[in-house]
């Protein structure tokens, strides 16, 4: 299989994932876009996680300088004639219990991170979860009542052994899901527009509802750079054969010489 046939075969056979219910049974399949669940950029993931953790630092560290430490401002002895080193204040940084020079002061560690890089890191995190087989899609988080024990049993049926990230559409209004999952250790519930690459890397399993993964996939696919979109279109469409140059006749060559 070469050339045009290989590209058509690749486009026809997209990656798919099983859609399950909370009982662990398969109820359908979902096609995953290669542009979103394709390559994994580890360097971009590292940058995104670094920015997330830096933005969440408290930055409340503080040291007291010469102005803030306790102590009088009186000159301890006269400038000359004592034979001792001159000194102006007991709060001098050279003295014990004196002020700290150039010590840390409260400030924010947050910095600007390009949105395109963040979305690219999110695509890489989803692709990594899918490649590791730790991405789960359920048709809906339909819970009849608020029961933490029953929801824990549902997670066990989905083969969630350690930690899990639950992702639902924004403004889902599923109060039973919120109350049933909030007391489970190692389980966090987020809306689709709040998911960060850090969350996907932190938790062992990522469980998306079908509407949430479909909406997120559309958003990430539409945010691709133009060169990536053109590359995907060129890969799916057959290339035109290059035209061979027409040979000139003897009369045309003679006309050029004349």
Give the domain CATH number at 154: 3.40.1370.10
**Residue where a domain terminates, one of 39, 73, 107:** 107
In this structure, is residue 121 part of a structural domain? Answer: yes
Residue with tokens 């890397």: 201
Query: Does this model's pTM top 0.85?
Result: no
In this structure, is residue 249 part of a structural domain? Answer: no
What is the model's pLDDT at position 171?
86
Strands 187-191 and 135-138, bridge-based pairing: unpaired
pLDDT band at 224 (very low <50, low <70, confident <90, very high): confident
Compute the distance between CA of residue 203 and CA of residue 188 in angstroms, rounded to an integer. Answer: 9
Distances (CA, A) of 140 to 18, 22, 56, 115, 195: 13, 8, 32, 30, 18
What is the model's pLDDT at position 84?
94
- Tell me which of 37-46, 110-119, 235-244 is least confident: 235-244
**Residue where a domain terminates, one of 75, 107, 139:** 107
In this structure, is residue 250 part of a structural domain? Answer: no
The percentage of the chain sitting over the pLDDT mark of 90, rounded to a whole number, equals 67
In this structure, is residue 258 part of a structural domain? Answer: no
What is the model's pLDDT at position 241?
55
What is the model's pLDDT at position 6?
45
Q: What is the DSSP string of 115-136?
A: HHHHHHHHHHHHHHHHHTT-EE
- Predicted confidence (pLDDT) per residue in 59-76, tens digit: 999 999 999 999 988 999
What is the model's pLDDT at position 15?
86
In this structure, is residue 33 part of a structural domain? Answer: yes
In this structure, is residue 219 part of a structural domain? Answer: yes
By CB neighbour count within 10 A (0-12 exposed, 13-18 middle, 19+ buried), where does 217 fall?
buried
pLDDT band at 237 (very low <50, low <70, confident <90, very high): low
**Residue where a domain terminates, one of 66, 91, 107:** 107
Residue with tokens 């001098």: 92
In this structure, is residue 254 part of a structural domain? Answer: no
Q: 44 with 156, same domain?
A: yes
Domain holding 43, by residue range, is 3-57+112-236
Q: 228 with 164, same domain?
A: yes
Q: 46 with 88, same domain?
A: no
What is the model's pLDDT at position 5?
52
Q: Is 70 exceeded by the pLDDT of residue 231?
A: no
Q: 50 with 98, same domain?
A: no
In this structure, is residue 256 part of a structural domain? Answer: no
What is the model's pLDDT at position 7?
44
- Phi then psi for residue 232, to 5 deg, are -70, -40
Q: 85 with 127, same domain?
A: no
How are strands ordered across the β-sheet holding 187-191? Answer: 26-32, 15-20, 135-138, 205-209, 164-168, 187-191
Mean pLDDT of the chain: 86
Q: Work out how many domains the chain is built from and give that number.
A: 2
Q: 121 with 100, same domain?
A: no
- Predicted confidence (pLDDT) per residue in 165-204, tens digit: 999 999 888 899 999 999 999 999 999 899 999 999 999 9
Helix (H, G, I), strand (E, B) or coil at 71: coil
Higher pLDDT, 234 or 251: 251
Q: 170 with 218, same domain?
A: yes
Q: 94 with 130, same domain?
A: no
Yes or no: say if 148 and 154 are a contact pair by the CB < 8 Å rule: no
Q: 77 with 126, same domain?
A: no
Q: 97 with 165, same domain?
A: no
Q: 7 with 133, same domain?
A: yes
Q: 69 with 173, same domain?
A: no
């Amino acid at each position: 299989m070469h050339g045009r046939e290989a590209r058509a075969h690749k486009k026809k056979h997209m990656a798919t994932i099983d859609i399950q219910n909370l009982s662990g049974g398969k109820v359908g399949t979902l096609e995953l876009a290669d542009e979103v669940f394709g390559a994994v950029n580890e360097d971009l993931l590292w940058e995104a996680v670094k920015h997330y953790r830096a933005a969440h630092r408290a930055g409340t560290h503080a040291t007291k300088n010469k102005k803030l430490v306790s102590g009088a401002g009186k000159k301890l002895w006269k400038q000359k004639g004592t034979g001792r080193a001159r000194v102006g204040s007991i709060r001098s940084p050279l003295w014990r219990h004196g002020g700290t020079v150039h010590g840390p002061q409260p400030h924010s560690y947050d910095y600007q991170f390009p949105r395109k890089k963040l979305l690219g890191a999110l695509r890489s995190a989803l692709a990594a979860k899918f490649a590791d087989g730790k991405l789960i899609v359920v048709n809906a988080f339909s819970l009849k009542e608020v029961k933490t024990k029953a929801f824990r049993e549902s997670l066990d049926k989905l083969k969630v052994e350690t930690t899990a990230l639950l992702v639902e559409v924004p403004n889902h209004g599923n109060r039973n899901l919120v109350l049933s999952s909030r007391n489970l250790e190692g389980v966090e519930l987020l809306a689709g527009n709040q998911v960060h690459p850090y969350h996907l890397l932190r938790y062992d399993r990522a469980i998306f509802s079908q509407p949430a993964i479909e909406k997120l996939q559309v958003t990430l696919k539409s945010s691709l750079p133009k060169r990536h979109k053109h590359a995907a279109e060129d890969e799916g469409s057959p290339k035109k054969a290059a035209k061979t140059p027409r040979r000139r006749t003897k009369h045309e060559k003679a006309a050029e010489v004349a």
